Structure 1
Amino acid sequence: MTTARLPLFPLNAVLFPGLVLPLNVFEERYRAMMRELLKTDESEPRRFAVVAIRDGREVAPSAPGMPDQTALPEKGPAAGFGPDPLQAFHEVGCIADAATIRERPDGGFEVLATGTTRFRLLSVGADGPFLTAELEEIAEEPGDGAGALAEGVLRAFRSYQKRLAGARERSLSTAAELPDEPSVVSYLVAAAAVLDTPAKQRLLQARDTATRLREELELLRSETAVIRHLPSVPAVDLTRVPTCPN
Structure 2
Amino acid sequence: MTERLPLFPLGTVLYPGLVLPLNVFEERYRRLVADLVSGPEPYRFGVVAIRDGRDVAPTGQDGGNQALAGLGSDAAHSLFDLGCVAEIASVESRKDGGYDLIATGTTRFRVQSFDATGPYLTAEVERVPEELGAEATMLAAAVERVFRAYQKRLAGARESTVTGLQDLPDDPMVLSYLVAAASVFDTTDKQRLLAADTAVERLTAELALLRRENAVLAKLPSLPAVELTRQAFNPN
TM-score, reference length from structure 1: 0.85
Give 2:2's aligned amino acid. Answer: T
Distance in structure 2 (CA, Å) of the matches to 1:122 and 1:88: 15
Aligned 8 A contact 1:162 1:172 in 2: no
1:49 lines up with 2:46 in the alignment = yes
Consecutive aligned runs of 4 or more in structure 1 exceeding 3 Å deviation = none
Aligned 8 A contact 2:4 2:124 in 1: yes
CA shift, 1:83, in A, is 2.8
State the SS of the aligned residue for 1:8: strand
Give 1:199's aligned amino acid. Answer: D
Aligned residues: 227
Which sections of structure 1, spanning at least 5 residues, go unmatched?
A: 70-77
Identity %: 56
CA shift, 1:54, in A, is 1.4
Distance in structure 2 (CA, Å) of the matches to 1:20 and 1:178: 16
Distance in structure 2 (CA, Å) of the matches to 1:129 and 1:22: 23
The counterpart of 1:234, out of the listed 216, 224, 233, is 224
Give 1:173's aligned amino acid. Answer: G
CA shift, 1:45, in A, is 1.6
Give 2:66's aligned amino acid. Answer: D
Give 1:230's aligned amino acid. Answer: L
Give 1:68's aligned amino acid. Answer: Q
Partner of 1:68: 66
Aligned 8 A contact 1:161 1:172 in 2: no
* Coordinate RMSD, CA, aligned: 2.3
Q: Deviations over 1:43-88 (max 9, x none)?
A: x3210000011127x698xx79x8428xxxxxxxx73216332222
The counterpart of 1:171, out of the listed 143, 162, 166, is 162
Distance in structure 1 (CA, Å) of the matches to 2:143 and 2:55: 36
TM-score, reference length from structure 2: 0.89
Partner of 1:72: none
Distance in structure 1 (CA, Å) of the matches to 2:44 and 2:95: 24
